[in-house]
Copies of this chain bind each other. A is one copy, B any other.
Amino acid sequence: MARLNMVEAIDQALRQEMDRDDTVIVLGEDVGRDGGVFRVTDGLYERFGEDRVMDTPLAESGIVGFAIGMAIGGFKPVAEIQFSGFVYPAYDQLLSHAARFRTRTRGQRTVPMVVRMPYGGGIRALEHHSESMEAIFAHIPGLKVVIPADPYEAKGLLTSAIRDPDPVVFFEPARVYRAIKMDVPEEQYTLPIGEARVVREGADLTLIAWGAHVRTIKEAAERLAADKRCDVEVIDIRTIAPFDAATVVASVKKTGRAIIVHEAPQSGGFGAEISAQIMERAVLHLEAPVKRVAGFDTIPPLSKLEDLYQPSVDLVVDEVIATMEF
């Protein structure tokens, strides 16, 4: 079993699924000869040619709208948006068409499609390159929103996303891309879309995150355990749509406490949905209010102040302690 980083794991997932199913087509800006600006599609152009690894014109709405047509025509497009900060021109095609074709045609026309993109901060990037706006996709009926936390997850979830009969938005935490390596099986495997994952069991408090911040909360949990402060359960939400309330609720019923961590702006972030669901399904089990540790309701600052914006392990640890002491 090879040790891969997330870029390599995604690249491998794409390659293997393209080998298996020749209707799978990768398209996007610079995905071809360049192999993508993060090299996620490295080697695919050489292996599959320009008909299956398509460099498109510079137009995100075009990419997604064209991919919708490809999907209706019997292909499985996997579109890359170069950075999630540039997906907004395609928001209309995603919401008004990709997510609706099945409903409006009672299943006669469908859009099996993946739109993948790097997202999130912590990479010292330019303006518009650090956003974390997954919540606005989770609110669109008819879309699935998947966010892997590590290389193993990325490979399995992407394989599932490609095989899914419905449109999936696949957010890849840019911060994780090359930050960690881990064992990833060479053979293909899938992971379930719609199921959260208990990363670490614990009795006292449930920490909840997705994407890059699964690592943040895992580290926080480990530090708290090492310091013998408390025993924290760690949940990776994994697919924020559909949201697996059952796993979260079961955990909170056990621990009685929960903190949700995300880097997206707090107001209207997906953390609110999780908190609201805990309210609806488990409030009587709470020993302390559910808290959110989230980004500010500001534009993500440029690199000089970026660290202030990102939820840190320190901050999470402090908030856990405060909740434990509530």
Contacts and interface: CB of A to CB of B under 8 A. Distances in A.
A286 B283 contact: yes
A89 B90 CA distance: 8
A267 interface: yes
Residue of A99, A267, A286, A292 contacting most chain B CB atoms (<10 Å): A267
Interface residues of A, number: 48
A103 B265 CA distance: 15
Nearest to A131: B95
A16 interface: no
Contacts of A268: 135-136, 138-139, 241, 268, 270, 272-273
A139 B269 contact: yes
Interface string A262-298: 0011011111110110111001101001111000111
A278 B280 CA distance: 12
Copies in the assembly, this chain: 2
A315 interface: no
Nearest to A133: B139
Interface in A122-163: 127-128, 133, 135-136, 138-139, 141-142
Contacts of A275: 272, 275-276, 279-280
Contact of A279 (B95, B136, B269, B289): B289
Given A136-B139, A139-B136, A141-B297, A280 B273 contact: no
